């Protein structure tokens, strides 16, 4: 098992290319099940999660081809040869549960393993199942699997979510595009990932109104066709690398970054002392003179502050002036990086879903352990400005969501390397 070793000190300078959005790409891959024609995705990130889902789709009969060094993926589901998504694969990647909607819509039958919990808390699927039942499916849970069927096909209906769920919105959306009649989804997720999925579906022939809003109206069609679609830039990777020069100093240009995908985050870090400039094909980020200023944050569904950038902001607040208050409202158990930052000298008090971070002058390098994807990168960011060496273990999480993280940070002057653990 590898570790990442970071030597703190020294400002950053240079350009970091932003990869395609992992969460978007995963849902687009699932949507390829809806048609017997090829779906071509460009700007595909090269990540282990992408590989895992590609393997699952192949078990369902999808032919997957990678072109241009893995940046282009062609998915051809000419024939669905298997309607069961096995636990052994689904448990590795929660997003694979989103094959349920497309399988049910096209084949009128699907058996998909429950994904189970994860390190950042239980993430239930009841809203997914209720939405599909509203569309006329019969859903049963047996031995850890969801058995869903709609022998006569799905029927359009009105779906009112009691709270915003990205995954449930996307499963309902991909089911509704082939349903008979009109479907209205209220309190729908507005995430850029969901909007990009909807745009891809319209390229495939779906009829969807309200894209990017909280109300989606879908007119069912008989069939969808193939298309070529570019995966949007990863806003979470963008936000992560934005934090690097704010923590370590210097100036970094993020090639391919888009501010319109993450306005609330940008406004938050600007209040803390970031300077963000739009440049040709990206964004340039630097810190104003002096340390950052503490800011308060409450994670919320899009367009609010994203939960997937909470850990990275906490790392920056560890050396900010004043005390910041970070409230996590999306997932429980998402402050597991706090004890590791405390090992580096941070002053953090966690009370339930709230963490208070009082800035210190400097963090100190220490051996720390990653607990999930975003926690992993927050510790690496903290290590950029810490005194001495920080060794982050259990970094396999990073391979799921950050493409060539070490190389990208090395490219802007960070002293960082990935090393194999003994034994």
Write out the DSSP string of 119-132: TT-----HHHHHHH
* Alpha carbons 67 and 143: distance in angstroms, whole number: 39
Burial class (CB within 10 angstroms; exposed 0-12, middle 13-18, buried 19+) of 351: exposed
- Quick check: is 118 catalytic? yes
Output the CA–CA distances (angstroms, integers) from residue 113 to 24, 57, 88, 176, in the order listed. Answer: 21, 14, 9, 21
Q: What are the E-state strand segments in 150-268? A: 158-160, 182-186, 207-209, 215-219, 227-230, 250-255
Are the C-beta atoms of 31 and 102 separated by less than 8 Å?
yes
Tell me the DSSP string of 232-259: PB-HHHHHHHHHHHHHH-EEEEEET--G
In the three-class reduction of DSSP (H, G, I as helix; E, B as strand; rest coil), residue 377 is classed as helix
Asked if residue 374 belongs to a known ligand binding site, the reply is no
Candidates 118, 200, 227, 266; catalytic one? 118
Annotated binding residue at 330?
yes
Asked if 150 and 136 count as a contact pair (C-beta separation under 8 A), the reply is yes
Tokens of 403: 């493409």
- Proportion of the chain in helix, strand, coil states, percent, rounded to 5: 35, 30, 35
Q: Is 222 left (phi over 0), alpha (psi -120 to 50) or beta?
A: alpha
Helix (H), strand (E) counts: the chain: 14, 24
Q: Is 94 annotated as a binding residue?
A: yes
- Other beta carbons within 10 angstroms of residue 68's beta carbon come to 9
Please give the structure tokens belonging to residue 104: 């049910």
Residue 298 backbone phi and psi in degrees, to 5: -125, 120
Q: How far apart are CA 118 and CA 348, in angstroms?
A: 24
The verdict on whether residue 308 carries a ligand-binding annotation is: yes
Residues belonging to the binding site for phosphoenolpyruvate are 22-23
Q: Residues annotated as binding site for UDP-N-acetyl-alpha-D-glucosamine?
A: 94, 308, 330
- Provide the annotated active-site residues: 118
Q: List residues forming the annotated binding site.
A: 22-23, 94, 308, 330
């Amino acid at each position: 098992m590898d570790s990442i070793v970071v030597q703190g000190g020294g400002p950053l300078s240079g350009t970091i290319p932003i990869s395609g959005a992992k969460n978007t790409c995963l849902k687009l891959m699932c949507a390829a099940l809806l048609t017997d024609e090829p779906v071509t995705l460009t700007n595909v990130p090269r990540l282990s999660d992408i590989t895992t889902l590609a393997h699952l789709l192949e078990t369902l009969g999808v032919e997957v081809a990678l072109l241009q060094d893995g940046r282009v993926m062609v998915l051809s589901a000419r024939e669905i040869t298997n309607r069961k998504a096995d636990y052994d694969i689904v448990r590795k990647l929660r997003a694979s549960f989103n094959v349920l909607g497309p399988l049910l819509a096209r084949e009128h039958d699907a058996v998909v393993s429950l994904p189970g919990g994860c390190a950042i808390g239980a993430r239930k699927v009841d809203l997914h199942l209720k939405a599909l039942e509203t569309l006329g499916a019969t859903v049963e849970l047996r031995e850890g699997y969801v058995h869903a069927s709609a022998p006569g096909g799905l029927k359009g209906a009105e779906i009112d979510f009691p709270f915003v769920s990205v995954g449930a919105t996307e499963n309902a959306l991909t089911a509704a595009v082939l349903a008979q009649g009109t479907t209205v989804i209220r309190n729908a997720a507005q995430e850029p990932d969901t909007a990009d999925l909807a745009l891809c579906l319209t390229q495939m022939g779906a009829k969807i109104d309200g894209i990017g809003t909280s109300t989606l109206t879908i007119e069912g069609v008989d069939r969808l066709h193939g298309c070529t679609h570019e995966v949007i830039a990863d806003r979470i990777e963008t936000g992560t690398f934005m934090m690097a020069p704010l923590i370590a100093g210097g100036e970094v240009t993020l090639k391919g970054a888009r501010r319109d995908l993450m306005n609330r985050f940008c406004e938050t870090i600007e209040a803390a002392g970031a300077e963000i400039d739009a440049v040709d094909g990206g964004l340039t980020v630097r810190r104003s003179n002096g340390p950052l200023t503490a800011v308060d944050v409450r994670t919320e569904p899009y367009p609010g502050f994203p939960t997937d950038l909470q850990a990275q902001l906490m790392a920056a607040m560890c050396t900010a002036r004043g005390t910041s208050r970070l409230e996590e409202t999306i997932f429980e158990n998402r402050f597991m990086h706090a004890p590791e930052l405390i090992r580096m000298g941070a002053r953090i008090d966690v009370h339930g879903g709230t963490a208070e971070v009082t800035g210190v002058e400097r963090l100190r390098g220490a051996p720390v352990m990653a607990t999930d994807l975003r926690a992993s990168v927050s510790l690496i960011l903290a290590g950029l400005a810490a005194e001495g060496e920080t060794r982050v273990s259990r970094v396999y999480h990073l391979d799921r969501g950050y493409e060539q993280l070490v190389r990208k940070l090395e490219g802007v002057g960070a002293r960082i390397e990935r090393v194999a653990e003994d034994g």
